[in-house]
Amino acid sequence: MKSAKLVIISLLLTAFLFSNIALGSPYTTAAKMAIQSKDYKKALELLKKEIANDPESNEGYYLMGFVYSKLNKYNEMLDAFNKSLAIDDEYEEEITAHKLNAWAVLFNKGVKYFQKGNTSSSQDSAKIFYNTSTESFKSAVNIEPDSISTHRNLAFVLLNAQRYDEAIEPLQMIINKSKSKDGYRFLGNIYYNKAKTLKSKFITTKIPEDSIAYMNMFDKAIEVLETGKKTYPSNSNILLALSNSYIGANRIDVAIKAFKEGVENQPDNKYYHYNYGVLLLGSKKYAEAIEQFKAAEKIDSNYENAIYNLGVVYVQWGDNILKSELDKEVHSDKYKLKYESALPYLEKVIQLNDQEAAIWETLGKVYTRLGKTSDAENAFNKSDSLR
């Protein structure tokens, strides 16, 4: 329906353009005739002469903007329209309609090539499609800078094209304009991943400036995600990214306190229990982590992440006991009890999702520790087949 309206608007504007074809200066009259014949190159030459002859010709600039729109030169179109309006607002209504029409053309082109990029079987072709889509959305943003949907689509194209630095601006824009849930999530993840890269660099270089750089980037991630958490306190993606950022920045105590408060304030929120459990697991507080994962499972009996991590807690606890005993040259079956406790959770999660290699690998490790050789071999084979 919207496309049909824009076509009608375009036709009405063209009709208006030629309704007073003989009322302008010789140059604008001739330009209108050239436009009618779709000779846009000639029309542009005539309109440049019109402007040179009369720099205050608001009609000349208006027509020039129209011609540039037909030539797909949208920056030049905007410049000409703005100059026309700066002289006089006589054509304001028509210019607004032309801009809306041009925005719709560019937006639809951006969507079209975004979809082509997503479905392309060739990386080279996908890159070309994403580039075309990006340029279309960028031009659309210039025409309608307040359009949230345009900034949002531009951000997603850039994310899919792995042009993460360029995606920062449109993501920040949709956060500023609409407190976008996806904006917080993806912008936080960009800063988090940049921080991890910088941290790896510091581990190699040991240069103090590199340490400062990665910590600053973690701070950016945390700032974005904490704001997102306030707006969307139950969003699992934002909460997970925030807890990962706290861990990366070595702010474990802050993270534990924040998610503990979340659990206390929203005891029925499985995501708070889960993320709090992840943090406790990272601190090797196994019993407390189990308590949180079980609370999450109680809220949602098929919560795959909580069930899997219940198994992981027992596995890591068993590993820790085994290592301690080997270091002390002590032998017992205490570690096996932890592995046996892990087994039902890992087997349950496999029933929910049997397509994750990591789950099968963990299960194979447990079977090995418990002496179930045949089961271990099958689990490892399944894990290998999924990689």
**Mind spelling out the 3-state secondary structure of the chain?**
CHHHHHHHHHHHHHHHHHHCCCCCCHHHHHHHHHHHCCCHHHHHHHHHHHHHHCCCCHHHHHHHHHHHHHCCCHHHHHHHHHHHHHHCCCCHHHHHHHHHHHHHHHHHHHHHHHHHHHHCCCHHHHHHHHHHHHHHHHHHHHHCCCCHHHHHHHHHHHHHCCCHHHHHHHHHHHHHHHCCHHHHHHHHHHHHHHHHHHHHHHHHHCCHHHHHHHHHHHHHHHHHHHHHHHHCCCCHHHHHHHHHHHHHCCCHHHHHHHHHHHHHHCCCCHHHHHHHHHHHHHCCCHHHHHHHHHHHHHHCCCCHHHHHHHHHHHHHHHHHHHHHHHHCCCCCCHHHHHHHHHHHHHHHHHHHCCCCHHHHHHHHHHHHHCCCHHHHHHHHHHHHHCC
pLDDT tens column, 89-118: 999 999 999 999 999 999 999 999 999 999
CB 18 within 8 A of CB 103: no
Mean pLDDT, the chain, whole residue set: 91
pLDDT, mean of residues 275-292:
93
The residue ranking higher by pLDDT, 10 or 79, is 79
pLDDT tens column, 159-195: 999 999 999 999 999 999 999 999 999 999 999 999 9
Out of 1-10, 257-266, 348-357, which region has the weakest mean confidence (pLDDT)?
Answer: 1-10
Is the pLDDT reported for residue 196 higher than 90?
A: yes
Whole-number pLDDT of residue 346? 95
Out of 65-74, 325-334, 365-374, which region has the weakest mean confidence (pLDDT)?
Answer: 325-334
* Confidence class for position 261, pLDDT limits 50, 70, 90: confident
* Confidence class for position 11, pLDDT limits 50, 70, 90: very low
pLDDT tens column, 203-228: 999 898 989 999 999 999 999 999 99
**How far is it, in rounded angstroms, from Cα 200 to Cα 211?**
10
Instruction: Report percent pLDDT > 70 for the chain.
Output: 94
Whole-number pLDDT of residue 25? 84
pTM: predicted TM-score of the whole model, two decimal places: 0.77
Whole-number pLDDT of residue 140? 97
**How far is it, in rounded angstroms, from Cα 148 to Cα 180?**
9
Domains of the chain from N-terminus onward: 2-90 (1.25.40.10)
CB 60 within 8 A of CB 90: no
CB 23 within 8 A of CB 12: no
* Confidence class for position 255, pLDDT limits 50, 70, 90: confident
Single-letter amino acid code for the residue at 167: A
